[in-house]
Amino acid sequence: MADTEKPPLRPEGLQPRKKGLTRRQKQRLSRGVQYAVFVAAVAAFAVAADWGRLRNQFAQADIAERMFPDVITLALKNTVLYTVTGFTVGLVLGMVIALMRLSSVGPYRWLAGIYIEIFRGLPALLIFIFIGVAVPLAFPGTEIVGGTYGQVALALGLVAAAYMAETIRAGIQAVPRGQMEAARSLGFSPARAMVSVIIPQAFRIILPPLTNELVLLFKDSSLVLFLGVTLEERELSKFGRDLASQTANSTPILVAGLCYLLITIPLGLVVRRMEAKAQEAVK
Partner 1 sequence: MSRPEIRVSGLHKSFGDNHVLRGVDLEIGRGEVVCVIGPSGSGKSTLLRCVNLLEEPTRGRVFVGGVELTDPDVDIDAVRRRIGMVFQQFNLFPHLTVAENLTLPQRRVLKRGKAEAAKVAAENLERVGLAEKADAYPSSLSGGQQQRVAIARALAMDPEVMLFDEPTSALDPELVGDVLAVMRMLADEGMTMMVVTHEMGFAREVADRVVFMDGGVIVEDGSPEQVIGAPRHERTRHFLSRLLDPAAAEVGEKTSDRVGTSG
CA gap 64, 61 in Å, rounded = 5
Nearest approach, Cβ of 92 to partner 1 (angstroms)?
21
| The one among 197, 214, 229, 243 contacting partner 1 by CB under 8 A | 197
Type of residue numbered 46: A
Determine if 192 is a binding residue for partner 1 (CB under 8 A): yes
Nearest approach, Cβ of 176 to partner 1 (angstroms)?
8
| The one among 109, 184, 219, 241 contacting partner 1 by CB under 8 A | 184
Determine if 108 is a binding residue for partner 1 (CB under 8 A): no
Determine if 189 is a binding residue for partner 1 (CB under 8 A): yes
Select the span of 141-149, 151-159, 175-183, 262-270 touching partner 1 (CB under 8 A). Answer: 175-183
CA gap 163, 219 in Å, rounded = 15
Contacts (Cβ under 8 Å, ≥6 apart) of 56: 249
The alpha carbon torsion through 182, 188, 194, 200 (nearest 10 deg) reads -70
Contacts (Cβ under 8 Å, ≥6 apart) of 170: 206
Sequence length of the chain is 283
Determine if 185 is a binding residue for partner 1 (CB under 8 A): yes
Determine if 181 is a binding residue for partner 1 (CB under 8 A): yes
For residue 48, give the H/E element and its range.
helix 23-48
| The one among 173, 179, 212, 250 contacting partner 1 by CB under 8 A | 179
Positions in the binding site for partner 1 (CB under 8 A): 176, 178-179, 181-189, 192, 196-197, 200-201, 204
